[in-house]
Structure 1
């Protein structure tokens, strides 16, 4: 009788140990699955043109922000977009699109975002959502270094001004003249200043100064910046998960110093300061 009771108790103890071990194993499995699910939840909620990729557009004509070198897209915008994609856990896929139709391309789902030095404006915000800014710049007037007729912004009245097609600078130019020439790239416009084909060009301060340094264009600025501009990533309005992920990536880049490294590499300074 005692021996039977002993065997019964032993079987009971072993059964309880096996049950506890099984429960613990199940809990660990469920926890691991839950963690993996949480890690992938943000990406799975995103609406992407190509699974596993962040496809982002730019004109490819805006040196040093975005341009082609040996048939490869390079520049500040490209590096920022690549870093954002990597932090989200996506493969970066930069593409080009003509600037005048770049928002239409986004809304038509040709790409997931525009990371091409687009100024966040109220008018554009009616069509797309904007991220937090990834750099700050300003609209600036450039003229030929040999131009002696334009000394102040008031002297722009009635002059021929060049701007990039479908840019915010078209409206800036209208404040001074109706003689406005639009170009597919600001660089082309700036190149028309020294020969005198244009009296002035309104463009991003960074673009103009970089053209002076890198291309040796004999141009100069006139007056102060026309306005402060916040440059941001544009995303379709029905893609909140992607917008939040991009904002987090930008914030993390700034916090850990990566943003400053990229900005300093291209411009010698932190463009968010």
Structure 2
């Protein structure tokens, strides 16, 4: 009798174990169940580009820097716009150029209003503390411009005590402040250059390309003084920790230069290859 009782108890325990095992597996088909954790694989379509808008490369500029970036019939055009558009296409994204006031353009980037800045920004050590930069997409430098009739300003030494115009929040402001105590800020370098001929300011320090373009396109009666004051690498600014997108941008720039597309765009806007300027 005791032996029979033990057998019954053993059978009941075995049945309970089988039922519990089936309930835990939740699989009555007999198929093997694989338990997977969070997907840690890189998304093959977006490649962790961390875009503000899916499928688009949104890039910012002031829109006031002709011929680099400006509005023509409410459409953003210019060298920067074409470079940004070409970069976007080579990454497989729709180009989405936007404008932002230059003095707050870095804040807009950090606030994720756009993905990158393609607005003729110089890569500097100070800015590198806040953002990352791509390889340069053109080379330029600060240049002094004066009115054609101004023969009193012929060298950098003549800047002492003179009123020099610069664009607000630009690296040219720092250069001007080493030359004179009288520095006037403008929302656009074009506005500063236009103040030269009436004599409202004595000189302007701006990007050489901007000044030369103003002479060629607007017929401003201004001239260059001396050589460039410094060599500047103009690059795409991007938020830190966006390494995949940064790598794609660098690849696109290198491809453009190698296949001749870059030189075509540069010649269209400046009549020279400004990567070599």
- The TM-score, its normalising length taken from structure 1, stands at 0.85
Q: Structure 2: how far apart are the matches of 1:198 and 1:260?
A: 35
| 2:245 is aligned with 1:231 | no
Q: Structure 1 residues 168 and 112 mapped into 2: Cα distance closer, same or farther (>3 Å)? A: same
* Structure 1 residue 202 corresponds to structure 2 residue 205: yes
Q: Note the C-alpha offset of 1:43.
A: 2.8
Q: Deviations over 1:128-175 (max 9, x none)?
A: 000000000110000011112111110000100000000000110011
Q: Given the alignment of the two structures, is residue 167 of structure 1 paired with residue 170 of structure 2, yes or no?
A: yes
Contact 1:42 1:245 in 2 (8 A): no
Structure 2 match to 1:246: 249
Q: Which runs of 5+ in 1 are unaligned?
A: 1-36
- On the 8 A contact 1:42/1:241 being kept in 2, the answer is no
Gaps of 5+ in 2: 1-40
Within 1, Cα distance between the matches of 2:106 and 2:218?
30
Kindly report structure 1 stretches of 4+ aligned residues shifted beyond 2 Å.
40-44
Tell me if structure 2 keeps the 8 A contact 1:43–1:88: no
Aligned pairs, how many?
236
Aligned to 1:113: 116
Distance in 2 (CA, whole Å) between partners of 1:155 and 1:250 is 39
User: Are 1:186 and 2:193 counterparts?
Assistant: no
Output the CA distance in 2 between the equivalents of 1:224 and 1:253: 29
Residue 54 (structure 2) aligned to one of 31, 51, 55: 51
TM normalised by structure 2 equals 0.83
Q: Name the CA distance, whole Å, in 1 between partners of 2:134 and 2:224.
A: 30
| Equivalent residue, structure 1, for 2:17 | none
Partners of 1:76 and 1:266 within 8 A in 2: yes
More helix by share: 1
Which stretch shifts more, 146-155 or 189-198? Answer: 146-155
Q: Which residue of 2 aligns with 1:92?
A: 95
Aligned CA RMSD, in angstroms, stands at: 1.2
**Equivalent residue, structure 2, for 1:219:** 222
The alpha-carbon deviation at position 44 of structure 1 amounts to 3.1
Decide whether the 8 Å contact of 1:56 with 1:112 is kept in 2.
yes
Shift of 1:42: 6.6
Q: Which residue of 2 aligns with 1:67?
A: 70
Maintained 8 Å contact 1:165/1:183: yes
- Tell me which residue corresponds to 1:81: 84
Q: Deviations along 1:163-219, whole A, 9 cap, x unmatched?
A: 000000011001111111100100000000000000000000000000011111100
